[in-house]
Structure 1
């Protein structure tokens, strides 16, 4: 009998959002109670015994994962949002997209200096979003103890970019290609 892995809960949708793309859809993972619990448990497992004061989630699916992870740890949750979505004073960080740039923001008072934070998102592709999130958290004076992702697309170089920063990276599964 095959024991289901997180990867088994992820559906692949061909030609979305563009022809030739294989979209890795985690909504099927989130919709399944066992899959979601397995995912949260496995995202946290390598950080057992590590002091984590807060989970920081990257918009938008990182919010879903991060909220569940923070609940399980009994810690706070910090949203790292797209520009213009947070009501208080923020720090902003630009990052590169395939065509152009985008900006992430975090509230200036989201964390106390010295807080130990785990950054989470559903997908690691080029690493641009994660690197921007790390930069924002570090501007707050926090220490990012690691990054956790459901999916790694290693061909796009994100893991290598985070490894080059000395950042511990944990991904539950990898898919070849873009």
Structure 2
């Protein structure tokens, strides 16, 4: 099956919910893909085909949907997986970075001993919207002197222009306006 067919299968499996979590929002739900074995397999194939030639040392998944795809990539590439989590979820010494939400502020954390300097990192998440969480993740990793090779997302909401806030290359499989 070719890439275009796989993308169509994945796109058709993504759930769309109007007025969630509040009126006027169209929510794109990646869990529809996870519930459809054919679509999930197509997405896995697309991800693996894309990342297999990236030169990375570590896969970083963002809380929480990046945890669905990061370990899969980690296993396929034979590279370690490191989570970036919301504040208060990781033990040990952590580094923290704030980011702005539409209703306030939140924080991402990473364990400081999880990535050594000059490691090449792939960041994975399901969605790039306004760019706040991805930008915070990139800042955290750069503070640890890691090189962010790419930020990989399944879906991107282009009209929110999140990639302009991210100080690293971004790749998305499916774009919505």
Displacement after TM superposition at 1:44 (Å): 4.2
CA–CA separation in structure 1 for the residues paired with 2:57 and 2:37: 26
Moved over 6 A (4+): none
User: What is the CA deviation profile of residues 95-146 of structure 1, one whole-angstrom value per residue up to 9, with x for unaligned ones?
Assistant: 1111221100000001121111100100100111001001111122211100
The number of residue pairs the alignment matches comes to: 172
8 Å contact kept, 1:43–1:171: no
Q: Does 2:145 match 1:144?
A: no
Q: Does 2:79 match 1:75?
A: yes
Please provide the CA RMSD for this pair: 1.6
Question: Scaled by the length of structure 1, what TM-score is found?
Answer: 0.90
Question: Scaled by the length of structure 2, what TM-score is found?
Answer: 0.90
CA–CA separation in structure 2 for the residues paired with 1:50 and 1:25: 27
8 Å contact kept, 2:158–2:175: yes
CA–CA separation in structure 1 for the residues paired with 2:144 and 2:38: 35
CA–CA separation in structure 1 for the residues paired with 2:10 and 2:142: 30
User: What is the CA deviation profile of residues 27-55 of structure 1, one whole-angstrom value per residue up to 9, with x for unaligned ones?
Assistant: 01112223223223323434432211111
> What residue number does 2:68 align with?
64
Specify which of 1, 10, 15 is matched with residue 11 of structure 1: 15
Alignment map for 1:17-166 (pairs within 5 Å): 17-162=21-166, 165=167
Structure 2 gap ranges (5+): none
Structure 1 gap ranges (5+): none
